Protein backbone atom coordinates (compact mmCIF):
# COMPACT_ATOMS: atom_id res chain seq x y z
CA UNK A 1 0.00 0.00 0.00
CA UNK A 2 1.29 3.42 -0.95
CA UNK A 3 1.47 5.85 1.98
CA UNK A 4 1.44 9.61 2.01
CA UNK A 5 4.77 11.03 0.68
CA UNK A 6 5.14 13.16 3.83
CA UNK A 7 4.55 10.14 6.07
CA UNK A 8 7.13 8.16 4.07
CA UNK A 9 9.60 11.06 4.49
CA UNK A 10 9.13 11.14 8.27
CA UNK A 11 9.62 7.37 8.56
CA UNK A 12 12.74 7.56 6.39
CA UNK A 13 14.08 10.45 8.52
CA UNK A 14 13.80 8.35 11.69
CA UNK A 15 15.94 5.68 10.05
CA UNK A 16 19.02 7.91 10.42
CA UNK A 17 19.13 6.84 14.08
CA UNK A 18 21.46 3.92 14.90
CA UNK A 19 19.70 0.57 15.13
CA UNK A 20 16.43 1.92 13.76
CA UNK A 21 15.14 0.02 10.74
CA UNK A 22 12.01 0.42 8.66
CA UNK A 23 9.65 -1.27 11.15
CA UNK A 24 11.01 0.55 14.22
CA UNK A 25 10.87 3.92 12.45
CA UNK A 26 7.31 3.23 11.29
CA UNK A 27 6.24 2.25 14.84
CA UNK A 28 7.71 5.44 16.34
CA UNK A 29 6.14 7.71 13.74
CA UNK A 30 2.74 6.02 14.03
CA UNK A 31 2.90 6.36 17.82
CA UNK A 32 3.57 10.10 17.60
CA UNK A 33 0.82 10.64 15.02
CA UNK A 34 -1.76 8.47 16.77
CA UNK A 35 -1.14 9.20 20.44
CA UNK A 36 1.35 11.99 21.08
CA UNK A 37 1.30 14.81 18.54
CA UNK A 38 2.31 17.31 21.24
CA UNK A 39 5.30 15.10 22.05
CA UNK A 40 6.19 14.97 18.36
CA UNK A 41 6.05 18.77 18.06
CA UNK A 42 8.18 19.12 21.19
CA UNK A 43 10.70 16.59 19.83
CA UNK A 44 10.91 18.43 16.51
CA UNK A 45 11.35 21.80 18.24
CA UNK A 46 14.04 20.64 20.68
CA UNK A 47 15.87 18.68 17.99
CA UNK A 48 15.93 21.70 15.65
CA UNK A 49 17.30 23.91 18.46
CA UNK A 50 19.93 21.29 19.37
CA UNK A 51 21.13 20.91 15.78
CA UNK A 52 21.65 24.67 15.60
CA UNK A 53 22.84 25.39 19.15
CA UNK A 54 25.08 22.48 20.15
CA UNK A 55 28.65 22.62 18.94
CA UNK A 56 32.06 21.23 19.87
CA UNK A 57 34.14 22.65 22.73
CA UNK A 58 37.17 24.26 21.08
CA UNK A 59 39.44 22.76 23.74
CA UNK A 60 38.26 19.15 24.16
CA UNK A 61 35.71 18.64 21.32
CA UNK A 62 32.93 17.58 23.72
CA UNK A 63 29.40 18.77 22.96
CA UNK A 64 28.48 22.14 24.46
CA UNK A 65 26.49 25.30 23.78
CA UNK A 66 29.33 27.74 24.43
CA UNK A 67 32.89 28.07 23.17
CA UNK A 68 34.16 25.95 26.09
CA UNK A 69 32.36 23.14 27.93
CA UNK A 70 31.74 23.23 31.69
CA UNK A 71 34.61 20.80 32.39
CA UNK A 72 37.18 22.87 30.48
CA UNK A 73 35.91 26.04 32.23
CA UNK A 74 36.11 24.54 35.71
CA UNK A 75 38.91 25.68 38.02
CA UNK A 76 38.34 22.57 40.14
CA UNK A 77 39.61 20.26 37.39
CA UNK A 78 43.26 19.26 36.95
CA UNK A 79 44.12 20.76 33.55
CA UNK A 80 47.51 19.04 33.48
CA UNK A 81 45.72 15.68 33.11
CA UNK A 82 43.86 14.74 29.91
CA UNK A 83 41.82 11.58 29.39
CA UNK A 84 41.33 10.76 25.71
CA UNK A 85 37.99 9.09 24.92
CA UNK A 86 36.21 8.07 21.74
CA UNK A 87 32.83 9.71 22.38
CA UNK A 88 30.96 12.09 24.71
CA UNK A 89 29.14 9.02 26.08
CA UNK A 90 32.51 7.81 27.42
CA UNK A 91 32.86 11.06 29.37
CA UNK A 92 29.49 10.44 31.04
CA UNK A 93 30.56 6.92 32.02
CA UNK A 94 33.84 8.15 33.55
CA UNK A 95 32.18 11.11 35.28
CA UNK A 96 29.55 8.81 36.81
CA UNK A 97 32.37 6.77 38.37
CA UNK A 98 33.44 9.88 40.32
CA UNK A 99 37.08 8.82 40.15
CA UNK A 100 38.53 11.30 37.65
CA UNK A 101 39.19 14.99 38.24
CA UNK A 102 41.17 15.88 35.11
CA UNK A 103 39.97 17.07 31.71
CA UNK A 104 39.12 15.25 28.51
CA UNK A 105 39.73 15.13 24.79
CA UNK A 106 37.02 13.56 22.62
CA UNK A 107 38.11 11.89 19.39
CA UNK A 108 34.53 11.48 18.10
CA UNK A 109 35.49 8.04 16.84
CA UNK A 110 38.64 6.01 16.27
CA UNK A 111 41.10 5.44 13.46
CA UNK A 112 39.46 3.39 10.74
CA UNK A 113 41.08 3.76 7.30
CA UNK A 114 38.45 1.51 5.69
CA UNK A 115 35.75 3.97 6.81
CA UNK A 116 37.82 6.99 5.79
CA UNK A 117 38.56 8.03 9.38
CA UNK A 118 42.12 9.29 9.73
CA UNK A 119 43.96 11.52 12.25
CA UNK A 120 42.44 14.68 10.73
CA UNK A 121 38.89 13.49 11.41
CA UNK A 122 39.77 12.82 15.07
CA UNK A 123 40.98 16.38 15.69
CA UNK A 124 44.46 15.26 16.70
CA UNK A 125 45.86 18.60 15.51
CA UNK A 126 43.83 20.25 18.31
CA UNK A 127 45.23 17.75 20.83
CA UNK A 128 48.79 18.34 19.63
CA UNK A 129 48.31 22.09 20.05
CA UNK A 130 47.18 21.55 23.67
CA UNK A 131 50.25 19.44 24.36
CA UNK A 132 52.55 22.04 22.80
CA UNK A 133 51.25 24.66 25.24
CA UNK A 134 53.35 22.87 27.87
CA UNK A 135 50.74 22.57 30.64
CA UNK A 136 49.90 18.88 30.08
CA UNK A 137 51.77 16.43 32.33
CA UNK A 138 49.86 13.18 31.72
CA UNK A 139 47.60 11.78 29.03
CA UNK A 140 45.38 8.79 29.76
CA UNK A 141 44.32 6.83 26.69
CA UNK A 142 40.81 5.45 27.28
CA UNK A 143 39.98 4.09 23.84
CA UNK A 144 38.01 0.86 23.56
CA UNK A 145 39.66 -2.56 23.54
CA UNK A 146 38.90 -3.17 19.86
CA UNK A 147 41.31 -3.41 16.93
CA UNK A 148 40.46 0.19 15.99
CA UNK A 149 40.79 1.35 19.61
CA UNK A 150 44.21 -0.29 19.92
CA UNK A 151 45.36 1.19 16.59
CA UNK A 152 44.25 4.61 17.83
CA UNK A 153 46.16 4.10 21.09
CA UNK A 154 49.32 3.22 19.13
CA UNK A 155 48.93 6.32 16.99
CA UNK A 156 48.50 8.48 20.11
CA UNK A 157 51.67 6.92 21.56
CA UNK A 158 53.64 7.99 18.48
CA UNK A 159 52.06 11.46 18.56
CA UNK A 160 52.88 12.12 22.23
CA UNK A 161 56.34 10.52 22.30
CA UNK A 162 58.31 13.64 21.16
CA UNK A 163 56.88 15.64 24.08
CA UNK A 164 57.82 15.38 27.74
CA UNK A 165 54.39 14.02 28.69
CA UNK A 166 53.56 10.83 30.59
CA UNK A 167 51.29 8.54 28.55
CA UNK A 168 49.19 5.89 30.30
CA UNK A 169 46.42 3.51 29.23
CA UNK A 170 43.37 2.59 31.31
CA UNK A 171 43.67 -0.86 32.88
CA UNK A 172 41.75 -3.60 31.15
CA UNK A 173 40.80 -7.03 32.37
CA UNK A 174 38.54 -8.57 34.98
CA UNK A 175 35.52 -6.42 35.91
CA UNK A 176 34.54 -5.90 39.54
CA UNK A 177 32.48 -8.88 40.66
CA UNK A 178 33.59 -10.93 37.64
CA UNK A 179 34.34 -14.64 37.99
CA UNK A 180 37.23 -16.16 36.04
CA UNK A 181 35.29 -19.11 34.66
CA UNK A 182 32.92 -16.77 32.81
CA UNK A 183 35.58 -14.54 31.21
CA UNK A 184 36.57 -14.80 27.57
CA UNK A 185 40.18 -15.77 26.78
CA UNK A 186 41.20 -12.30 25.51
CA UNK A 187 39.96 -10.53 28.64
CA UNK A 188 41.73 -13.03 30.89
CA UNK A 189 44.97 -12.77 28.90
CA UNK A 190 44.83 -8.96 29.09
CA UNK A 191 44.22 -9.04 32.84
CA UNK A 192 47.32 -11.22 33.32
CA UNK A 193 49.42 -8.87 31.17
CA UNK A 194 48.14 -5.82 33.06
CA UNK A 195 48.70 -7.30 36.53
CA UNK A 196 49.96 -5.03 39.31
CA UNK A 197 51.48 -5.31 42.76
CA UNK A 198 49.00 -6.36 45.43
CA UNK A 199 48.61 -3.66 48.09
CA UNK A 200 46.00 -3.58 50.87
The pLDDT, as a whole number, for residue 171 is 81
Three-state secondary structure along 125-185? HHHHHHHHCCCCCEEEECCCCCHHHHHHHHHHHHHHCCCCCEEEECCCCCCCCCCHHHCCH
Residues carrying CATH 1.10.8.420, the chain = 5-53
Q: pLDDT band at 200, cuts 50/70/90? A: low
Per-residue pLDDT, averaged over 171-195, amounts to 77
Q: pLDDT band at 197, cuts 50/70/90? A: low
Is the pLDDT reported for residue 198 higher than 70? no
The domain 66-169 having CATH identifier 3.20.20.70: the answer here is: no
At 161, give phi and psi (nearest 5°): -50, -40
- DSSP 3-state of 54: coil
Residues carrying CATH 3.40.1360.10, the chain = 66-169
Is the pLDDT reported for residue 199 higher than 70? no
Share of the chain above pLDDT 90, in %: 70
The pLDDT, as a whole number, for residue 186 is 81
Per-residue pLDDT, averaged over 24-29, amounts to 96
Per-residue pLDDT, averaged over 57-77, amounts to 96
Burial 72-105, CB ≥16 within 10 A → b, else e: beeeebebebbbbbbbbebbeebeeeeebebbbb
Which tens digit of pLDDT belongs to each residue from 102-141? 999 999 999 888 888 888 899 999 999 999 998 999 999 9
The pLDDT, as a whole number, for residue 88 is 96
Is the pLDDT reported for residue 2 higher than 70? yes
Average pLDDT over the chain, rounded to an integer: 90
Per-residue pLDDT, averaged over 161-188, amounts to 82
Q: Which fold has domain 5-53?
A: Helicase, Ruva Protein; domain 3 (1.10.8)
| CA atoms of 110 and 121, how far apart (whole Å) | 9
More confident residue, 147 or 181: 147
Per-residue pLDDT, averaged over 137-162, amounts to 91
Per-residue pLDDT, averaged over 88-95, amounts to 94
> How buried is 117 (Cβ within 10 angstroms: 0-12 exposed, 13-18 middle, 19+ buried)?
middle
The pLDDT, as a whole number, for residue 1 is 66
Put residue 109 in one of left, alpha, beta given phi > 0 → left and psi -120 to 50 → alpha: left
The pLDDT, as a whole number, for residue 193 is 78
| CA atoms of 91 and 40, how far apart (whole Å) | 29
More confident residue, 173 or 59: 59
Amino acid sequence: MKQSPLLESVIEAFRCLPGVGQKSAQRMVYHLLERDRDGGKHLANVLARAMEGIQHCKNCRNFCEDELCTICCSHKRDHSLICIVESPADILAIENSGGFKGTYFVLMGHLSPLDGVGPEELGLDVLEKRIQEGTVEEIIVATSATIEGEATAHYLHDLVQPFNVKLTRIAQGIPMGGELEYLDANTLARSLTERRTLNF
